[in-house]
Amino acid sequence: MDDEAREHPLARLVRAAERAAERARRTEDLGRSATRDTLREFVEQRFKGRKLVLASNREPYVHAWKGGAITWFRAAGGMSIALDSMASACGAAWVCHGSGDADFAVAGGSGRVRVPPDRPTYTLRRLALSRAEERGYYDGFSNAALWPLCHVSYVRPRFHHPDWLTYQAVNARFAEAIAEEAPPGAVVFLQDYHLALVGRLLKRLRPDLTSVLFWHIPWPNPEIFRICPYKEEVLDGLLGNDILGFHLRYHADNFMETVGLELESQLDWDGLSVARGGHRTRVRSYPISVDFDAIRRQADAPAAGEAARVLRRVHGLEDLKVGLGVDRLDYTKGIPERLEALGRLFEARPEWQGRFTFVQIGVPSRTHLEDYQAVVADIERRCEELNARLAQGRWKPVLLLKGHQDFDALVPWYRLADLCVVSSLHDGMNLVAKEYVAASGENGGVLLLSPFTGAARELEQALSVNPYDIESFAQAFARALDMPLEEQAARMRRMRSRVSTRNIYAWAEDLCRDVVDLAENHDLEGETKP
């Protein structure tokens, strides 16, 4: 029987009280804003010389050939932007897949390059994956199997054994590269469902390392996850980590229930941990956020204002209300439902024709998969039909801008948008919502936000939009367009207060604090002390 299961009930109450006190202390911390400096200070004081190594499939900076010269851009994904701030603050090493066509012209045979390119603060270690490895590990098991398995979007996951074998092999390559980069006693911070097996592999290669994996997408209920043919291997890989993090407590609970049904293990529901094979994994929730101050400064800079004016002029948006969507072209993002609601708005409120344009920025994603090709074709068809039916002169109801976007290019769009729509069918967090809040300013702007995102738990002043209810979605569009500036400002101030305080550095400090507490109670073999 587990030691904690045998302990005296009074001792369990004491432990519960200690956890309550810790939660209260963290709640008090909401009164201060964590910063890059406070995070660096925390790491220097509490890590006691331990180094930080991050690992993810996606890289935060990409090098590419353009016009015979090498250029670079910052990835627009919310996760990579948030973690870039953390890596810079800590001077980390970051292991990732090098996907840019000039990545290794810059990184050389070692795969190492200092970033950000214009002000280096940490090192990328890029892995070169073959096209076959990308197809099996990324397009295949990660995104044709795990992604639809974990999202309630009614796309059937596809499991192919060769993809699973490639996923295992690429996870082993990541584990080996991390083991090479990590000095003794380092903390390894793994990102997302692409690297589910790395924690267990690292424990075999380097038991001196403390590993944390953050699962950035939802974790489904046990009934859904049980259809995965490799569920035991995936769960065992995740339980190789010392801490497993999710955005929401609900997802953490789903994971615990799944483990309890599928693996021989001991669950501690009071302490939210799983014991298996002599190793204990803590299961926690940490709602991720953005670098509020950095985005605010960028949005407030004169250059962003001038860029916004240029965008209005170039795209014929002068004197118009502008709505904005910023999404990967993914079937979980609710873009077709958004466009349907937009058409319903113009039917129900024809006075907005010629006065309001919706700009949909779509970043191509997983273009080799049929399900993604189908959703892109559907989005393009809906945009064409709306414009063919309603366009007047130069005015169009919807403007679809497809292509990879540098985050710096998104900030002027956030600044000029009168409203921003995040209508995901299912999302772990969705940082676009928080980016818009940080960039839009306190004096106006309306966020329309799906309740099926993690962000909706925090941004309660957003207008809630159910992407499955087109009529109410259209009404939310109308309400946003009609909303007085005073109400917009009041809502935005409260959301900005939340995002500024619970920013990326507060998220990182919470996670790092748990890592340090764990490391101080761990022996070198990673076994939990009695």
Kindly report which listed range (339-353, 364-378, 416-430) carries the lowest average pLDDT score.
364-378
Domain boundaries, the chain: 38-211+285-289+505-519, 293-501
DSSP element (H, E) containing 190 = strand 187-191
Residue 7 clears pLDDT 50, i.e. is over it: no
CA atoms of 411 and 438, how far apart (whole Å): 10
Mean pLDDT taken over the chain: 91
Q: Which of 65-79, 140-154, 292-306 has the lowest mean pLDDT?
A: 65-79
Residue 36, amino acid: R
Question: What's the mean pLDDT in 206-229?
Answer: 96
For residue range 138-169, list pLDDT tens digits in order: 999 999 999 999 999 999 999 999 999 999 99
Residue 59 has pLDDT above 90, yes or no: yes
- What is the percent of the chain where pLDDT is above 90? 80
Q: Is the pLDDT of residue 189 over 50?
A: yes
Q: At what angle do helices 485-501 and 292-300 cross, to 10 degrees?
A: 140
Nearest-5° angle of CA 218, CA 223, CA 224? 45
Rg (CA), the chain: 23
pLDDT surpasses 70 at 8? no
Q: Compute the average pLDDT of residues 432-443.
A: 93
Is the pLDDT at 27 greater than 50, yes or no?
Answer: no
Secondary structure in 3-state letters for 291-352: CHHHHHHHHHCHHHHHHHHHHHHHCCCCCCEEEEEEEECCCCCCHHHHHHHHHHHHHHCHHH
CA atoms 212, 218, 223, 227: torsion sign: negative
CATH topology of domain 293-501: Rossmann fold (3.40.50)
Q: What is the pLDDT of residues 370-405, one digit of tens each?
A: 999 999 999 999 999 999 999 999 999 999 999 987
Give 528's pLDDT tier (boundaries 50, 70, 90): very low
pLDDT at 72: 94
Question: pLDDT tier at 78 (50, 70, 90 boundaries)?
Answer: low
Span 424-443, average pLDDT = 94
Residues 253-290: pLDDT tens digits?
999 999 999 999 999 999 999 999 999 999 999 999 99
CB 177 within 8 A of CB 201: no
pLDDT of residue 263: 96
CA–CA distances in Å: residue 366 to residues 135, 363, 430: 10, 10, 18
Is the pLDDT score of 107 beyond 50?
Answer: yes
How deeply is 44 buried, as exposed, middle or buried, from its count of CB atoms within 10 A (0-12, 13-18, 19+)? exposed
Residue 81's pLDDT is 72
Tell me what pLDDT residue 74 has.
Answer: 86
For residue range 109-132, list pLDDT tens digits in order. 999 999 999 999 999 999 999 999
**What per-residue confidence (pLDDT) applies to 24?**
45
Q: Is the pLDDT of residue 10 over 90?
A: no
Pick the CATH number of 38-211+285-289+505-519 from 3.30.70.100, 1.10.645.10, 3.40.50.2000, 3.30.420.40: 3.40.50.2000
Residue by residue, DSSP assigns 102-166 as THHHHHTTTTEEEESTTS--EEEEEE---HHHIIIIIIIIIIIIIHHHHS-S-------HHHHHH
pLDDT for residue 269: 95
d(CA 103, CA 20): 47
Model confidence at 88, in pLDDT bands (50, 70, 90)? confident
**456-497 tens-digit pLDDT:** 999 999 999 999 999 999 999 999 999 999 999 999 999 999
Whether pLDDT at 291 is above 80: yes
For 507, the enclosing helix (H) or strand (E) is helix 504-519
Q: How confident is the model at residue 32 (pLDDT cuts 50, 70, 90)?
A: low
